[in-house]
């Protein structure tokens, strides 16, 4: 599993989702993107965006004053990917 981290700390809605969208466009299907945020709204916003766009929320958790959302990029997995 390939894991990519995106720092979206200190960004407020809708910027974390926009950053996720921009980053996902550069990733292969099956890649896991870990998004680190300080806006608690991402716990609702990112999963909603994932449902609309065909990505899977793997994990959401709070760690201190940060919120971490892991998503698996959807789409057709490429051979060897």
| DSSP H helical ranges for 1-81 | 15-24, 42-53
Assess whether 50 carries a catalytic annotation.
Answer: no
**What is the pLDDT, as a whole number, of residue 77?**
52
Do the domain assignments include residue 22? yes
Instruction: Answer yes or no: is 60 within a domain.
Output: yes
Q: What pLDDT was estimated at residue 81?
A: 46
pLDDT tens digit string along 27-54?
999 999 999 999 999 999 999 999 999 9
State which H helix or E strand residue 10 sits in: none
Structural domain containing residue 16: 3-72
What is the per-residue pLDDT across 56-74, written as a single tens digit (0 to 9) for each?
A: 999 999 999 999 999 999 9
Work out how many domains the chain is built from and give that number: 1
**Do the domain assignments include residue 81?**
no
* Planar angle of CA 6, 71, 17, nearest 5 degrees: 55
CATH of the domain at 33: 3.30.110.40
Say which of 4, 9, 11, 13 is annotated catalytic: 13
Is 79 a domain residue?
Answer: no
* E strand map for the chain: 3-8, 32-37, 56-63, 66-72
| pLDDT over 70 percentage in the chain | 93
């Amino acid at each position: 599993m390939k894991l990519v981290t995106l720092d979206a700390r200190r960004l407020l809605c809708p910027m974390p989702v926009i950053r996720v969208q921009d980053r996902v466009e550069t990733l292969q299907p099956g890649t896991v993107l870990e998004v680190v945020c300080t806006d608690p709204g991402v716990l609702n916003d990112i999963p909603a965006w994932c449902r609309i766009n065909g990505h899977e929320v793997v994990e959401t958790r709070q760690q201190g004053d940060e919120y971490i959302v892991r998503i698996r990029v959807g789409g057709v997995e490429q051979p060897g990917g």
